A and B are shown apart, each in its own frame.
Chain A
Amino acid sequence: MSDPRLASRLKEARQAAGLTQAELAEKAGVSRKTVNTVENGVFVPSTILALSLARALGVTVEALFWLAD
């Protein structure tokens, strides 16, 4: 489920937005577990989930996820 090619700045973006994992989860319509596993790189989100998280944080998907070199 994890992929070393995916880099993420989700935790930083969430903290910058002043949200807890539970609050972000609520806004994105997922469980807190999902947010936590994405933040820790344990779970690779689908395009839909990545877009939902980006929308909930008011940023673009590219600002949250990118391909690590």
Chain B
Amino acid sequence: MMRRENGAATERRRAFRHRAAMALCGLGLLVAAASGLLWEKNGLDRHALLGMATFSGIGIVLVGVIGLFAYRPDTAEQTRNQTGSYRDRVQRSWVGGITILPAATFGLTVIAMTRSQAWLSGEDTSWSGVILAGVAVVNLLLIPLMLMGWDGGSKKIKRLIEDELTQSYRASAITCAFWVLLIGVTGAYLVGLWNPEAVIVALPMILWVSATTAALRFAQLHRRAEREMDVDE
């Protein structure tokens, strides 16, 4: 009961801050628009002042947007519903890690593509370039390895992560990624009939898209299940 009252109070505070952020955002837009209009008139020598006003407006908008995101309504209620055991918290943080992996490996994928292109075109025939291309693409394996729970870690943590729902979501995510990979490789094969070099350069991206599909589908299923959790009573 106490927890619910605390949650309601938190929600009220959050709603107030959300309205404040919205007002700030509106004010920022107004300041930026008004300053922009005055800037256009080009009358008095007030350019520096108007420039400052414009950028202040944009700054206020940015602060407002951050506030709108941080204090969006119903988050406290949702967080209260999502609370669970230690196992739930471990799973949540593990899924969070899987979600950020695609963004973390995107740069490596681009490096692998550029290095392989340089190697194939003869621009860079050094072994360091081709090794970098290989290592960068091998890094993509981190995504499926983490998704499968083969990324190391203690047995206790693995036992907490591996429950039936996780296994079911994993199967669904891997199936989805398999289809993406199949379509990507088929497309690459067809393109390769005319331009084999382009296929080699594109392969890291096909692998990244497939691995990312698995990671994001898995995270999406987990998040949806969390969002749909009832009040625990």
Contacts and interface: CB of A to CB of B under 8 A. Distances in A.
A43 B165 contact: yes
Contact of B85 (A31, A45, A49): A31
A52 B225 CA distance: 21
Contacts of A29: 163
B45 interface: no
A42 B228 CA distance: 10
Interface residues of B, number: 20
A32 B232 contact: yes
Contacts of A26: 85, 87
B229 A32 contact: yes
A33 B230 contact: no
A34 B84 CA distance: 11
B5 interface: no
Contacts of A32: 84-85, 87-88, 229, 232
B186 interface: no
Interface residues of A, number: 22
Contacts of B232: 20-22, 32
A26 B88 CA distance: 10
B165 A20 contact: no
A42 B21 CA distance: 37
A39 B225 CA distance: 12
Contacts of A25: 84-85, 87-88
B164 A36 contact: no
Interface string A3-29: 000000000000000001110011001
Contacts of B84: 21-22, 25, 31-33
B165 A33 contact: yes
Given A22-B85, A25-B84, A25-B87, A34 B164 contact: yes
B85 A36 contact: no
Interface of B: 83-85, 87-88, 91, 163-166, 168, 172, 222, 225-226, 228-230, 232-233
